Amino acid sequence: MKKIVFTDLDGTLLDDNRLVTKKNRTCIEKTLSEGHQIVITSGRPLASVKQIARDLNLDGEGCYCIASNGAVLYDCGNNKVLRQTTLSKEFIKPLFKSAHEHNIHIHTYTDNNVLCEEDRIEVHWYENEIKVPAIIVDNVYNYIDLDPVKIILLDLENQQNLINFQKKMLPFTEGKMETLFSNPKILEYCPLGVSKGNAISELCNILNIPIECTVSAGDAENDIPLIKAAHIGCCMKNGFASAKACADYITEADNNNSGFAEILEKFVL
């Protein structure tokens, strides 16, 4: 039976240097050669996901990816967005205003860029992490034309600042958007009802693939729906305790030691 594997990037497929290990590459090539599919399923914006898909030869005919925590379903072979869910542009004003008041970096995206209002160390760190350039403008709300797929806050030193912000904004955000951590440094605000888990179910329906054929791999809080939705949900050894608690399998190797290849060898190849 042919399998379809949905994998997170940071902390899962990629090592801590944001690279793909040799063993992971070899197992990906073998998986594809045997007729299975691999779908990158990331919190990263589409522009960043497409770069990695291209590097791993996951961008040809019949290849798909999921970006922005499930907000975007993309057909790589036909260069076509199958579905995109967005936040209301009106959410930019209160979130950006409150983040600035708390001295926390905040940004959103255009199709090809990170978009923010302050030139801070956090945005340069993020540019380096996802390989997507930033644009700094006076007013994001006035600059952006379309509703954003998500909004991100960053604190490189103290996650508690983000946790406090998340709690303070709950009266405003609850029932309007999803809020979650993709790693301890990054707090994300996504469209209501959007998740990696819903996205893989939707893509399987589009491709007419039974959920029994699915395997997933993740490590963080935003991967919990991904882990739960797949027939076999795997969490990395280096994953969050909350993600491990939901997994059918926890790898013996971490993301720096080809834990993703371990999943492919055990459940696909």
What number of CA atoms fall less than 13 Å from residue 150's CA on the CB side? 28
Q: Which residues contact 6 (CB under 8 A, 6 or more apart)?
A: 39, 41, 66, 196, 200, 214, 215, 216, 217, 226, 230
Residue 204's pLDDT band (boundaries 50, 70, 90)?
Answer: very high
CB-CB contact of 67 with 44 (8 Å): yes
What are the beta bridge partners of residue 159?
A: none
Q: What is the pLDDT of residues 142-173, one digit of tens each?
A: 999 999 999 999 999 999 999 999 999 999 99
Q: What is the fold of 89-191? A: 3.30.1240
Q: What is the mean pLDDT of residues 96-107?
A: 97
Q: What is the mean pLDDT of residues 117-124?
A: 96
Cα 228 to Cα 241: distance, rounded to the nearest angstrom: 14
Q: What is the mean pLDDT of residues 215-225?
A: 96
Q: Which CATH architecture describes the domain 4-85+194-267?
A: 3-Layer(aba) Sandwich (3.40)
Q: What average pLDDT does the chain have?
A: 96
What are the beta bridge partners of residue 108?
A: 115
Is pTM, for the whole model, over 0.85?
Answer: yes
Give the distance, in angstroms, between the CA of residue 209 and the centroid of all CA atoms in the same chain.
Answer: 22
Give per-residue burial for 42-65: e unless 16+ CB within 10 Å, then b: bbbbbbbbbebbeebebbeeebbb
Cα 6 to Cα 217: distance, rounded to the nearest angstrom: 6
- Domain chopping of the chain, boundaries: 4-85+194-267, 89-191
- Please tell me the predicted confidence (pLDDT) of residue 1: 84
Cα 96 to Cα 115: distance, rounded to the nearest angstrom: 12
Residue 253's pLDDT band (boundaries 50, 70, 90)?
Answer: very high
CA dist 164 to 102, 158, 181, 241, Å?
10, 11, 13, 21
Residue 249 has pLDDT above 90, yes or no: yes
Same fold yes or no, 4-85+194-267 and 89-191: no
Residue 42's pLDDT band (boundaries 50, 70, 90)?
Answer: very high
